[in-house]
Amino acid sequence: MSLPIAERWFERRDLDADLTLIWEPHVHPLLRCNIWRLRGRDADLLVDTGMGITTLREAGADLFEKPLLAVATHAHGDHVGGLHEFDCRLCHGAEAQALSEGRDSYSLDLADFSADAQARLAKAGYDISDGLLTAIPHPGYRPAAHVLKGYEPTRVLAEGDVVDLGDRAFEVLHLPGHSPGSIGLWEAATGTLFSGDAIYDGPLLDEIAGADIPAYRRTMERLLKLPVQVVHGGHDDSFGAERLAQIAVAYLRRTEA
């Protein structure tokens, strides 16, 4: 069945005067990454960049007028597809090789997913039986031949580094488990955490390539000690400390030896 052409690919919502959420409504929740743009005095912060199915930079041109620090919370394709469009690209050292390699082609066509693969995703909490896309961005786009462009990071991050916007500063937290170099960006002054896929309010994936359940457990134990006020995750809705504790405790119980 052919897919319709979307009138527009990205949607956005302002959470406050400085924070904007951008997302791809025609992408299945499994791959529908939260793209966060935060205004700073000297530079703006962009946390993750979506699938790269069409140009994020053009869609958000009015948001991306200042110097921009584009941070990849990890190198999975749903988070770094648009990273190559930006001049300042930051990621953890353990994700740098995957980011630079990209992928020449991988399929977003349901026909290329085996019954076993679909069953594994369904068990994790994601039913993709209706497909991964509900539209395409333009005529000629082929979901079966999606490309993830590789690009070298311009700055490699490590635990304790600071991403400085001038009036706001975020500490890099290394939060492995979902992937080796997953990171969060932590602003202690406001209790704000941009968590990527280390924690979000949806089915957490810990049996995919590169995942590490013991490391994920240590990340959850660390997050339980963090005095958060708000968590802006890599997927799904933002949440506070109480929900973080519920998610983390549930994960620890589920993965007990």
Could you read off the pLDDT of 143-178 as tens digits, one per residue? 999 999 999 999 999 999 999 999 999 999 999 999
* Reported confidence tier of residue 91, pLDDT bands at 50, 70, 90: very high
Distance CA 89, CA 97 (A): 13
What is the reported pLDDT for 1? 58
Task: Identify the sign of the CA torsion 41, 39, 93, 225.
Answer: positive
Question: How far, in Å, CA of 230 to CA of 188, rounded?
Answer: 11
Q: What pTM does this model have?
A: 0.97
What percentage of the chain reaches a pLDDT higher than 70? Answer: 100
Distance CA 2, CA 17 (A): 40
Q: What is the pLDDT of residue 126?
A: 96
How many other C-beta atoms are found inside a 10 Å radius of the C-beta of residue 134?
13
Residue 105 is predicted with a pLDDT of 82
Q: Are 171 and 106 in contact (CB under 8 A)?
A: no
The mean pLDDT value for 90-102 works out to 96
Nearest CA to 91 among 175, 160, 154? 154
Strands (E), 3-58: 11-14, 19-23, 35-38, 44-47
